[in-house]
Amino acid sequence: MNLWCRLLRLLLTLAWRKKVGVLEPSRLRMTVLPNDLDFNMHVNNGRYLTLADVGRIDFVFRTGVFRTAMTLRARPVVGDAIAKFRRDLKVFQRYNLETRLLGWDDKWIFIEQRFIRHGRVVGVVTVRCLWVNADGAMTAQLFVDTVHPQLVSPPLPKWVKEWSRCCDDLSTSLRIEEAQTEAPLKAAA
């Protein structure tokens, strides 16, 4: 079963799955499949990010965010991701994928996803994302207000703020580097 089969199964079972509030976690029970493994016979680090996609899709549907996005003709865009791997997940092991909204700032929405086996966090993927429509990127608060008016972000953990700042710093460095690279090319043309 590849990602598309997991996604199809998720969509077919949504009607029977309990709705969750925007600040509540959604949980998926999953099994490690042979195509999730790398040469070390545990879940591939890239597969964690792919499985996290499935968890975010579940979260978006079960919280009602999908309906809001369709009304606004908005689509989600992941800007950055960070992952922490603590323990192996091996073939046919069962685990829970828990997805929750950590909060938001002026621009970004932060989502944390925990891979949990026997009550222990074995891996974490955190993303910062935003919603984009024909007018461009929406502010996080504007999007959240359309889902749940007047909802205030929970306080973001210190490490999330620092990580976000580092992502912004990297983006700035890349823009400067590109400008320096493009300047000689334009001068030569």
Q: What is the pLDDT of residue 108?
A: 96
| Predicted confidence (pLDDT) per residue in 82-94, tens digit | 999 999 999 999 9
Task: Report the mean per-residue pLDDT for the chain.
Answer: 90
Share of the chain above pLDDT 90, in %: 60
Q: What is the pLDDT of residue 89?
A: 95
The SS3 call for residue 123 is strand
Q: What is the pLDDT of residue 2?
A: 67
* Residue 185 clears pLDDT 70, i.e. is over it: no
DSSP state of 1: -
pTM score? 0.89
Is residue 99 within 8 Å of residue 58, measured between CB atoms? yes
The alpha-carbon radius of gyration of the chain (Å, integer) is 19
* Residue 25 clears pLDDT 90, i.e. is over it: yes
Taking residues 142-152, what's their average pLDDT? 87
Superfamily of domain 3-155: Hotdog Thioesterase (3.10.129.10)
* Residue 189 clears pLDDT 60, i.e. is over it: yes
CA distance 74 to 131: 6
| Predicted confidence (pLDDT) per residue in 48-66, tens digit | 999 999 999 999 988 988 8
